[in-house]
Structure 1
């Protein structure tokens, strides 16, 4: 009698575990997030490239004008581009994509 009760409970638990709602919806949401995230990652890399190009042009212009302190500008534009690249990598790690 006791074995029958234990095996019956195990069968009911197995049925309950396999009947989880929303698994298909969660997989669909993950696929949509993955498709939109890659475009966001590409956007972050393009934005980082634009920061690098614009920063290089502005620094070169200031250097040709003879501004004595361009070190801050170099660091600011460089770290703006690095931040965009790292933000994309961070989002990829957070969402597990």
Structure 2
């Protein structure tokens, strides 16, 4: 006959084993969800990055035209306009490249 202490420890071991299996199963499911989310986010990185680079190119073209118009009209602050438009264009292109590098 088993004593009360032996029965208690056998029940405790069975409960601990069930809890361990339940927790490992829950962690496996959350890991699958994280993997799925990572794959989904990675599928959006290239199109978004290319879109940002294209917007940077359009901003650069618009900026070039506006600076040319200012230069032709004889404005004194063309250098400030050049730096502003060039900075915006450079920022957008670098953001697109950094996003690709960060998620690659």
Compute the TM-score of the two structures, normalised by the length of structure 2.
0.67
Question: What SS does the corresponding residue of 1:88 show, helix, strand or coil?
Answer: helix
What are the equivalent positions in structure 2 for 1:1-97 lying under 5 Å apart?
A: 19=25, 20=27, 21-92=29-100, 94=102, 96-97=103-104
Q: Which has the higher helix share?
A: 2
1:93: Cα distance to partner? 5.0
Query: What stretches of structure 1 of length at least 5 have no aligned partner?
Result: 1-11
The aligned counterpart of 1:5 is none
1:16: Cα distance to partner? 8.4
How far, CA to CA, are the matches of 2:54 and 2:99 in structure 1?
16
Question: What SS does the corresponding residue of 1:68 show, helix, strand or coil?
Answer: coil
- Contact kept, 8 Å, 2:46 with 2:100, in 1: the verdict is no
How far, CA to CA, are the matches of 2:55 and 2:75 in structure 1?
27
How many residue pairs get aligned? The number is 84
Over alpha carbons, which structure has the higher Rg? Answer: 2
How far, CA to CA, are the matches of 2:80 and 2:69 in structure 1?
14
Compute the TM-score of the two structures, normalised by the length of structure 1.
0.71
